[in-house]
A and B are shown apart, each in its own frame.
Chain A
Amino acid sequence: MKITINGKDTLIGENPERTIGSLLEELEVPQRLYVTVEQNGDILDRAAYETAPVNEGDVIEFLYFMGGGR
């Protein structure tokens, strides 16, 4: 199925069990313990990662910590 991740169309296998949490692992997303996930415009609570399903056409953004500046 097709989803959009950080602006890129991405094909992933069908998996009705897939959650945001398992997607993070599947895609080996960096900083996955700390990454913020926005799904279709809503920032998810971290507690929802393990239950939020991933659906065809989802627009997903991974937002990363960037702490530098000096």
Chain B
Amino acid sequence: MLTETQIERYSRHIMLKEVGGKGQQKLFDGRVLIIGAGGLGSPIALYLAAAGIGTIGIADADDVDLSNLQRQVIHRTCDIGRPKVESAREKMEAINPELKVITYQEWISAANINRVIAGYDFVIDGTDNFAAKFLINDACVLAGKPYSHGGILQFDGQTITIMPKESACYRCIFPEPPPKDAIPTCSQAGVIGVLPGVIGTIQATEALKFLLGKGHLLTDRLLTYNALRMKFREVPLKRKQTCPVCGDHPTIIEVHDELDAMTVCDLKRS
């Protein structure tokens, strides 16, 4: 049951017929895991906290750096040097003290991902490297866990929601990661600071819709966004029978680290 203060806090949600008191209760009972407390993770964490998702997990091993602050809006100048998950937890709890925030100050790998994602209803990928993106896809598909993929670079972003074994997964589109350093990263090629705000907010919207059971999820279509041309496009997709993880004859049957896709930096971290 929602308290009187909660009814007031979430009144703009509750008056939506798609949410109502029941929907708000579903959000409060919901458990969402955000992997990455950076560019994408910042708006996701802030909006999900404000929306009243009752349990939010956030995973990142990194500390806040000065160069993060141009886009990672959950962190402040005074947070430089602090663990990102601690900085994020503080802001989420300041917005909404009723939440349970669970922090994982560790890099996600094949060794820990199954443990970390267990117990969550929905997972959001806010990571910045292909090793993590493929690992999250494999773990979520194998565990049957719905998740939102997001990727950004320079002025471009893309996102898709994956309902394992029902809709196209990341490996249906990209069967394997590119060799390391073949595709530039944000730290090498730059990223416009507002971009993760756009993509991350869409990913947070998908988590809300999933928990509410309302609307149409961004499944079987890759949404791409270009900020310079200010264009959104949708590419229709379908599950691929030959997909190595969700296809008819999968070759990936347990999670593994994509060592070739890890950068020297990742290897140092793990």
A contact set with B: CB distance below 8 Å: 6-7, 31, 33-34, 36, 38, 41-43, 45-46, 61, 63-70
Contact = CB atoms under 8 A, between A and B. Distances in A.
Given A34-B182, A36-B174, A45-B242, A68 B236 contact: no
Contacts, number: 84
Nearest to B236: A41
Interface in B215-248: 222, 233, 235-238, 240, 242
Q: Which 3 residue pairs of A and B lie closest in terms of their CB atoms, listed nearest first?
A: A70-B38, A66-B151, A70-B128
Interface stretch (B2-10, B23-31, B50-58, B153-161): B153-161
A70 B41 contact: yes
A64 B222 CA distance: 11
Given A36-B174, A66-B152, A69-B151, 9 more contacts: A6-B233, A41-B238, A65-B178, A67-B128, A67-B129, A67-B151, A69-B36, A69-B41, A69-B125
B118 interface: no
Q: What is the interface residue range for chain B against chain A? A: 35 or more
A61 B38 contact: no
Interface of B: 36-41, 60, 62, 68, 72, 125-130, 133, 150-153, 156-158, 172-175, 178, 182-183, 185-186, 191, 196, 222, 233, 235-238, 240, 242
B126 A70 contact: yes
Contacts of A7: 233
Contacts of A67: 128-130, 133, 151, 153, 183, 185
5 contacts: A31-B178, A68-B185, A70-B39, A70-B40, A70-B128
A2 to B, nearest CB: 19
A6 B174 CA distance: 17
B128 A36 contact: no
Contact of B151 (A6, A43, A46, A68): A68
Contacts of A66: 151-153, 156-158
A51 B173 CA distance: 19
Contacts of B36: 69-70
A41 B237 CA distance: 6
A6 to B, nearest CB: 7
A38 B158 CA distance: 16
Contact of B173 (A36, A45, A69): A36
A34 B128 CA distance: 18
Contacts of B174: 36, 63, 65
Contacts of A42: 238
B235 A69 contact: no
Contacts of A63: 173-174, 222, 235
A65 B126 contact: no
Given A6-B233, A33-B182, A69 B172 contact: no
B251 to A, nearest CB: 14
